[in-house]
C-alpha cells in the first residue's frame, strides 16, 4: 500500500493539534502540518491503516487505540540532542555548581549530589553530566557520590537512554581519553556503535514525566536541574507553569540551566540569572 500521497485534512490536523497542545503542551502551528503528516505516515504504515481517518478513529475512539497515544507523542516530539551540547554548561557544572553544592552538603548527612535532566531525550545530556562530574572527581576533588535522574515524555527516547548505546559518529568529536575512559566499543567492528560503561550507567535512572502533569511525583529535591532546549516548544504561560512545578523540586539556592536560545525574560519566577542560561532559585 502506498501512503506517500496521504494528506491530513485541516479538520484532522486541528484535532491532532488540540490533542497534542492539551496533552503535551507542545505548540502546533499550522506550519507543522507537513511535519506531522510525514511522521504519522510511518505509524499508518506500521499499523497497516489505509488512511488518516482510520488512524485518528483508532487513536481517539478505540480502547486499544489508547496505547497508540504514546507512539503518537513519540512521533511528534523533536528529540535532537548531543553529547556536551552547549558545553559551557558542563564547565559551569564542574567548576562552579558542584564545588558550591559540596560546601553545603558537607554539613548534611545525605551527601549525594542530585541532578535532574528534565527533557533528557536519548540520554546524551545525562551521560555528559555524569562524565563531567566523574572527571572532576578523578582530578582529586573530594566529591561525594552523585545521582542523575533523566525524564522525558517520549518512551522511545527513554529506552535508548537506558540502553546507552549510540552511533560511533555521535562521539567522534569527543577527546580520545574521554572515549576510552567512558565508552565501550562494539565487539563487532562493523556495528559502528559505542556504549556508555556500566559505572556511568549506574549513576543514572530514567523515568517518563510529562511536564503538563499537575504533580510530578518526585521525591526530595534536586541540587541542579537541566531543562534545556525544551521550553521553546511551549508558549510563555505554559513555560511559566512548568518552571514553577520544576522549582518545587529544586533546592533553595539550587541551579536551573535552560538552553542558550531560551529566555525566561518576562516570566514571574523566583529565579536570579547568574550566567548565560544559568539561574539560581531564590
Ligand X SMILES: C[S@@+](CC[C@H](N)C(=O)[O-])C[C@H]1O[C@@H](n2cnc3c(N)ncnc32)[C@H](O)[C@@H]1O
39 catalytic per annotation: yes
Q: How far is the CB of 65 from ligand X (least distance, A)?
A: 20
177 and 140 Cβ atoms separated by less than 8 Å: no
Q: How far is the CB of 156 from ligand X (least distance, A)?
A: 9
Rounded distance between C-alpha atoms, residue 110 and residue 95, angstroms: 22
**Applying CB under 6 A, does 80 fall inside the site for ligand X?**
yes
Residue number, 6 or 152, with CB nearest to ligand X = 152
267 and 252 Cβ atoms separated by less than 8 Å: no
Rounded distance between C-alpha atoms, residue 62 and residue 117, angstroms: 34
**Applying CB under 6 A, does 3 fall inside the site for ligand X?**
no
Residue number, 27 or 137, with CB nearest to ligand X = 27
* CA 159 to chain centroid: 12
263 and 236 Cβ atoms separated by less than 8 Å: no
Q: Which of 14, 79, 144, 263 binds ligand X (CB under 6 A)?
A: 79
Residue list 185-224, contact with ligand X (CB under 6 A): 209-212
152 catalytic per annotation: yes
Q: Which of 77, 128, 132, 204 binds ligand X (CB under 6 A)?
A: 77
For cell 560546601, name the residue: 103
Rounded distance between C-alpha atoms, residue 248 and residue 242, angstroms: 10
Residue list 17-36, contact with ligand X (CB under 6 A): 24-26
Q: How far is the CB of 260 from ligand X (least distance, A)?
A: 10
Let me know if 77 is exposed, middle or buried by CB neighbors in 10 A (0-12, 13-18, 19+): buried
Residues acting as catalytic residues: 39, 152
The residue ranges that bind ligand X (CB under 6 A) are 24-26, 77-81, 85, 119-121, 125, 152-154, 157, 209-212, 228-230, 233, 259
Amino acid at each position: 500500500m502506498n501512503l506517500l500521497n496521504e494528506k491530513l485534512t485541516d479538520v484532522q490536523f486541528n484535532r491532532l493539534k488540540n490533542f497534542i497542545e492539551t496533552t503535551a503542551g507542545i505548540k502546533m502551528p499550522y506550519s507543522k502540518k507537513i511535519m506531522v503528516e510525514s511522521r504519522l505516515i510511518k505509524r499508518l504504515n506500521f499499523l497497516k491503516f489505509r488512511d488518516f481517518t482510520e488512524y485518528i478513529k483508532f487513536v481517539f475512539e478505540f480502547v486499544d487505540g489508547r496505547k497508540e497515544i504514546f507512539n503518537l507523542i513519540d512521533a511528534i516530539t523533536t528529540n535532537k540532542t548531543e553529547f556536551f551540547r552547549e558545553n559551557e554548561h558542563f564547565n559551569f557544572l564542574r567548576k562552579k555548581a558542584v564545588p558550591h553544592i559540596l560546601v553545603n552538603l558537607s554539613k548534611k548527612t545525605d551527601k549525594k549530589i542530585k541532578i535532574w535532566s528534565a527533557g533528557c531525550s536519548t540520554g546524551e545530556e545525562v551521560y555528559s553530566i555524569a562524565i563531567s562530574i566523574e572527571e572532576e572527581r578523578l582530578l582529586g576533588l573530594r566529591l561525594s557520590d552523585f545521582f542523575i535522574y533523566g525524564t522525558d515524555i517520549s518512551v522511545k527516547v527513554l529506552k535508548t537512554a537506558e540502553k546507552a548505546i549510540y552511533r560511533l559518529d555521535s562521539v567522534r568529536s569527543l577527546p580520545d581519553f574521554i572515549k576510552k575512559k567512558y565508552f565501550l566499543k562494539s565487539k563487532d567492528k562493523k556495528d559502528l556503535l559505542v556504549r556508555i560503561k556500566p559505572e556511568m550507567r549506574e549513576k543514572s535512572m530514567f523515568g517518563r514525566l510529562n511536564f503538563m502533569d499537575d504533580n510530578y511525583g518526585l521525591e526530595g529535591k534536586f541540587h541542579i536541574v537541566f531543562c534545556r532546549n525544551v521550553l521553546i516548544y511551549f508558549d510563555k504561560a505554559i513555560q511559566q507553569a512548568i518552571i514553577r512545578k520544576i522549582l518545587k523540586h529544586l533546592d533553595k539556592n539550587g541551579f536551573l540551566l535552560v538552553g542558550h536560545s531560551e529566555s525566561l525574560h518576562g516570566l514571574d519566577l523566583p529565579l536570579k540569572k547568574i550566567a548565560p542560561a544559568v539561574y539560581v532559585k531564590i
